[in-house]
A and B are shown apart, each in its own frame.
Chain A
Amino acid sequence: MTPFIAFESVYARLLRSHIDTDQIIPARFLKTTSREGLGRHAFADWRYEEGGQLRPDFPLHHPSARGATVLLAGENFGCGSSREHAPWALLEMGFRAVIAPSFGDIFRQNALKNGLLPIAVDAGVHAALADAPPDATVGVDLGVIRLPDGQRAFYPIDPFWKACLAGGIDEIEYVLRQAEAIADFEQGAR
């Protein structure tokens, strides 16, 4: 993973609650053995007509969403299945962070492990972002965002994950260094 660098971006708005992983990436696209090629299928059933044409009314096709690297969504974003294809698809679509009132537990973990920041904000902060003009921008750093009016809003981030993201630390390498403790556990407990 490459170390996280703070950024600022316009943001796309998809203000539905409980957007499940079947919407983020429908199951028929999970037959791949690769992490790549999923971006064009993200939100496929909302984004395309049956014949494959873009649906102009889909919020992410709004001109103001062009170039957005942040997605603003409703509560419980990413509920449902454990498919890591969901963050892979969002990343390939160009997103680097999702801001929502809450997230599905497994999605949140999967997102963090791929450097897609899940940012949980309270209702006031969410409303400030949702109500801002279409060309508004948000600044994103680890543990804090800057709202369109310049105010800063802190959000919870696990200190371990903050360190991993900031340092680009590979989680598996980190655990492999504890092989001795794992072997001890296996000797003792089994």
Chain B
Amino acid sequence: MTQARTLYDRLWDDHLVVERPDEPALVYIDLHLVHEVTSPQAFEGLRRRGLLVRRPNRTVATIDHAIPTHDRSLPIADRVAAGQIEQLKRNCTDFGVPLHGPGSGRQGIVHVIGPELGLTQPGMTVVCGDSHTATHGAFGALAFGIGTSEVEMVLATQCLLQRRSKNQRVEVTGRLRDGVTAKDLILALIARIGVDGGAGTVLEYTGSAVRALDMEARMTVCNMSIEAGARAGMIAPDDTTFQYLHGRPFAPSGRAWDEALERWRTLVTDDGASFDRSVEIDGDAIEPMITFGTNPAQAIAIGGRVPSPTDVPAADREALTKALAYMGIEPARPILGHPVQTVFIGSCTNGRLSDLRAAASVLRGRKVHPGVRTLVVPGSEDVGRAAEAEGLADIFRTAGAEWRAPGCSMCIAMNGDEVRPGETAVSTSNRNFEGRQGRGSRTLLASPLTAAAAAVTGAVADPRTFA
């Protein structure tokens, strides 16, 4: 009890079921989120083994990846996607797993609905067959993505075999300036430490600039921990966290709330706890960021110049040359003014109400550039309802953007929402890999403010000039 522990160590210790030398530890999972794409083979495995879901009340399903975002009253045209969605419904019925499907009022991207329903709570272990599960770490939960074999493992046993990760502290000092968002913070971090700078570690985000973020912004930061190769990312809970959770449908209430609060307040990294690695970032110095290449670390300040292959270490030269050729971007030139044909505002990274408000603040009273197709996709039915109620949807429609139904949409481009081959998109999503948003798509990752500024301009633009 005397040794100072990190928040991660504390959560690890709290969830140890069995620990034996020379074996991975057996770790208990409090919340298992399920969606249509990575679960069918796992449920099939249960059937083959003749097993049930061990804890249906710790399992929650929704439909997000393959679902169309246009008119939901029509049948799904893609028969393969429709089959996958039907399979999830059948699996949830057969195994007693609660499903928040389209029209339930609660459907949405799995990492948006977990927090907004109050399912995600401090101190929990949360897993999902999706690498952006780290989002839930914003609540001081240990949350990470797993493959389908592990989905089957958790369905069957409510546990996972795990090796303890290393601890890495990310301290962001100062305070983000106007026009600079959580998205810019995380892109700046990944640009600094690289796409494998977090490998083998769990990131804990600390410092005044992180403390000043609201919950939705904290989710944006934790969400992209995997893009630095980290196992998970987390932020110790505080009053901001507790205020967000209070009164949510699945959050504790009454006396249980008071008890939970007492427990949650202990979820901190002890003074003197040691981290295996640490990185410090000056929050005051972060600029709006945008990617120019084909991985999320290839990012620069919006006013900066794209690096030239001759500027980088020999080992990175070929990769940079290939990335720029794929992107159709000239080296050593400013990124401002680079032509854009598509803008996507949404995803588990930036599809929450505050993200839509940010985009609307730029689009209000302005028009989308005639050469730009702009999709605005709320992260959930709840986000969509709220955006309709406060007039954001009208702002988007009036500006000439397409206002869609909730889902992952153009972030992963498996539901028909695609960037056309050779087109450049400014996207608020999380991955700019080759072909990520459709074959031949070219993705520039940025914040909702920057994406909206590009929609209006038809080119990469500094959002601060629209304030």
B156 at the interface (CB under 8 A from A): yes
* Docked pose: A176 CA to B26 CA in angstroms: 11
How many pairs, one residue from A and one from B, have CB atoms within 8 Å of each other in the complex? 157
For the complex, give the distance between the alpha carbons of A23 and B431 in Å.
12
With a cutoff of 8 Å between Cβ atoms, the chain A residues found around residue B145 in the complex are: 81-82, 106
Per the bound structure, the CA–CA distance linking A31 and B65 in Å amounts to 9
* 7 residue pairs from A and B, CB less than 8 Å apart: A20-B431, A26-B439, A81-B431, A109-B146, A113-B150, A175-B26, A182-B158
A178 touches B195 (CB 8 A): no
Q: How many B residues are at the interface, by size bracket?
A: 35 or more
B295 touches A18 (CB 8 A): yes
Given contact pairs A33-B87, A181-B18, enumerate 13 new A-B contacts (beta carbons under 8 Å): A27-B414, A30-B66, A31-B83, A31-B84, A79-B195, A80-B431, A104-B229, A105-B229, A114-B149, A176-B51, A181-B26, A182-B28, A186-B158
Listed stretches B33-41, B264-272, B364-372; interface member: B33-41
From known contacts A76-B229, A84-B149, infer whether A28 and B413 are also in contact, taking CB-CB under 8 Å: yes
Is B435 an interface residue, CB under 8 A from the partner?
yes
Q: Does B189 contact A (CB under 8 A)?
A: no
CA distance A79 to B40 in the complex (A): 23
Q: How large is the interface on A (under 10, 10 to 19, 20 to 34, 35 or more residues)?
A: 35 or more
* Contacts from B to A (Cβ < 8 Å): 14, 17-18, 22-24, 26, 28, 37-38, 40-41, 44-45, 49, 51, 54, 65-66, 78, 80-81, 83-84, 87, 129-131, 145-150, 152-153, 156-159, 161, 163, 195-196, 199-200, 226, 229, 231, 295, 319, 322, 412-414, 421, 431, 433-436, 439-440
Report chain B residues within 8 Å CB of A110. Answer: 147-149
The answer to whether B229 touches A175 (Cβ under 8 A) is no
Q: Say if the beta carbon of A64 comes within 8 Å of chain B.
A: no
Residues in A with CB closer than 8 Å to B161 are 160, 171, 174-175
Among B38, B159, B435, the residue within 8 A (CB) of A83 is B38
Tell me the minimal C-beta distance from B1 to chain A in angstroms.
17
Q: Does A151 contact B (CB under 8 A)?
A: no
Contact B157 A175 (CB under 8 A): yes
Docked Cα-Cα span, A79 to B51, in Å, equals 32
Selected contact of A176 from candidates B157, B413, B435, CB within 8 Å: B157
- Shortest beta-carbon distance from B325 to chain A in Å: 13
Q: How far is the CA of A17 from the CA of B41 in the complex (A)?
A: 30
Chain A residue nearest to B18 (CB atoms) is A181
| A50 proximal to B (CB < 8 A) | yes
Is the beta-carbon distance between B26 and A84 smaller than 8 angstroms?
A: no
Across-interface contacts of B54 in A (CB, < 8 A): 182
Residues of A within 8 A of B231 (CB): 105
Tell me how far the C-beta of B414 lies from the nearest C-beta in chain A, rounded to whole angstroms. 4
Q: Are B414 and A31 in contact (CB under 8 A)?
A: yes
Q: Which residues of A contact B26 (CB under 8 A)?
A: 175, 178, 181-182
